[in-house]
Structure 1
Amino acid sequence: MNPDPNAAPRVPTERVLGIEFFSGTAAEAVEHLARHGGYAVIPAGPALMKLNYDEDYRRAMQSADLALADSGLLALMWRIATGRKLRNISGITFLKQLLGSAEIRTDGATLFVFASGEAKEKAAKWFRARETLVHERSYHVASSPPEVHDYALLSRIEELRPRHVVMAIPGGTQEKLALYLREHLVYRPSIYCVGAALGFLSGSERPIPEWAEKSHLGWAARLFAQPRMFFPRLAMSLGLARMVFKYRSELPPVRSHWADA
């Protein structure tokens, strides 16, 4: 990675596809980022296909202060290809650890950023059901569609000065947005790119069975959960496996499309 010059000391990592994935636990990841600031990325397997063709995504991933391997499939392919272990920390596991922190739940300490008003309302309902009081000012709905350079969000963060920013924006934009925020904010909050993880918990995304999450088979559950998406997801899974075996620790070269990898 090419981290921010003001970044924290290096942490133990395993380099896969040009990304330095964190080798510690979810609790250690939360503690590290909360202490030192910067942004964390937790890419799912399909999102990593963008390394083949999206220059801005490549830069955002390599510039992250902390990268966690959400994909159980990636960890499995890495073990088969190299015999080495890649620590698999799912976005849901990380988010649960994060939300368990008393500091995160402190009034005014955290700003939650959503892709839509519906996702925000479902998350607010989920928080209320768990007696977690989150003030309305701690919610922000990003521009639609989400923008990489979201000046309104930048201004909101500067105004509120939260210590933590939780980005619950699926689709691969949040990592680029997190880099933009880190480069332009006048202070250094902790930014967590949790993607669809909060939606899986709140119900705005199709939930993942707990057994699949605990056994690191969330990728398989998603593969079979939506029959119409089976073959596209299968193709991306096979593409990811091919990338791991072909490039291993190296960042793949830029292609015109992920299928050319």
Structure 2
Amino acid sequence: MTDVSAAPLGAAAPSPLDPGDAVAAALCARVHAVPCAEDHALPPRRPGPRVIAFLNAHAVNLSAASPDAAAAFLGADLLLRDGIGVKIMMRLLGFDPGANANGTDLIPRIAAARGRRVALYGALPGVAEEAASALRALGARVVATRHGYHPSADYEKWMLEDAPDLLILGMGAPRQEILADRLRARARVAGLDVDIVCGGAILDFLSGRSRRAPRWMRAAGLEWAHRLIMEPRRLARRYLLGNPVFLMRALRLAAARRIELGDSADGARR
């Protein structure tokens, strides 16, 4: 994994940080700020496979605690901001967070655009098929579905057989990001041009198995609270424990940046 022990803090000069905080700063630096959450706002594709991942507070916490998760998120070809937490952290570090690229909104638009061959891998048995029906109603061309409980090697084999232009993974973080890295390597060897999108619970939402937050909650950046209410047993640890950890990390990074900016200003006056 790339050494991030001296990751830059926005415009400030680099300095040693706690390893987890350094990973968080490096992830914020890798985010591609988009002007709006639309397919046309994404950078144009280049030949070869591409991994698209979404960075939210939970992803930052996972990456800070796991080198494998950090490597997978940092290795994404396109890392998009998802959520108000990362927006706050990026602003504290002096980065432009751009528009919120919520995967549940953006991925269906990507899938329905340009007549792509779409494959869906993930979720419980039957969910991907239901999600495929929803995407087809939007105009997407879904060519394959697989549930999310197979060995990684099976997905590598199926990807080459299905030959999608767009492969949506709905397996949760960091499993899907780690798998996406493996799939990209396999696709590169095979000469397969494919966008591999890490979608989290996207298949559950598309299938109707999980409900979206009301529009006003989404606009206020409170979709996480709705998910916590709907699935308290599964998500309590992520949000009730994880959010304070994330906030403290953001405040430590902001304090470190203020110190470094002050040191830089003092040095310039000397």
Shorter-chain TM-score range: 0.7 to 0.9
Q: Which blocks of at least 5 consecutive residues in structure 2 are unaligned?
A: 3-9, 12-22, 257-270
The answer to whether the 8 A contact 1:27-1:97 is kept is yes
Measure the CA separation in 2 of the matches of 1:193 and 1:26. Answer: 16
Shift, 1:193, TM fit: 0.8
1:42-61 paired onto structure 2 within 5 Å: 42-61=54-73
CA displacement at 1:22 relative to structure 2:
0.7
Deviation of 1:225 after TM superposition, in Å, equals: 4.1
What residue is the counterpart of 1:242 in the other structure?
248
Deviation at 1:240, TM superposition (A): 0.9
Is this contact kept in 2: 1:201–1:207, CA < 8 A?
Answer: no
1:123 maps to a residue whose letter is: A
**TM-score for the superposition, normalised by structure 1:** 0.74
d(CA) in 2 for partners of 1:216 and 1:193?
A: 21
CA pair 190-131 structure 1, distance change in 2 beyond 3 A: closer
Structure 2 CA distance for aligned equivalents of residues 232 and 155 of structure 1: 33
Deviation of the 1:219 alpha carbon: 2.5
Cα pair 1:72 1:218 within 8 Å, conserved: no
1:33 positional shift: 5.8
Instruction: Please tell me whether residue 102 in structure 1 is matched to residue 114 in structure 2.
Output: yes
* Aligned with 1:213 (options 209, 212, 218): 218
Q: Deviations over 1:126-179 (max 9, x none)?
A: 345x364655x42122335xx5xx111111111222221111222421000000
2:147 is aligned to 141
Q: 1:257 — aligned with what?
A: none
Tell me the amino acid that sits aligned with residue 21 of structure 1.
V
SS in 2 for 1:22: coil
Alpha-carbon contact 2:165-2:194 (below 8 Å) kept: yes
Matched pairs, number: 228
**Counterpart check, 1:76 vs 2:88:** yes
Question: Could you tell me how far 1:78 is from its partner in structure 2?
Answer: 3.4
What is the identity, as a one-letter code, of the residue corresponding to 2:162? L
Q: Give the whole-Å Cα distance in 2 for the aligned partners of 1:212 and 1:75.
A: 16
| TM-aligned CA deviation for residue 231 of structure 1 | 6.6
Question: Root-mean-square deviation (CA), in Å?
Answer: 3.1
The CA distance in 2 between the partners of 1:158 and 1:173, in whole Å, is: 20
Offset from partner CA, 1:107-127 (integer Å, 9 cap, x none): xx1211123213223313434
Structure 1 residues 119, 33: closer, same or farther in 2, change over 3 A?
A: farther
Q: The residue matched to 2:55 in structure 1 has which SS? A: coil
The correspondence for 1:117, drawn from 103, 119, 125, is 125
TM-score (norm 2): 0.72
1:200 to 191, 200, 205: 205
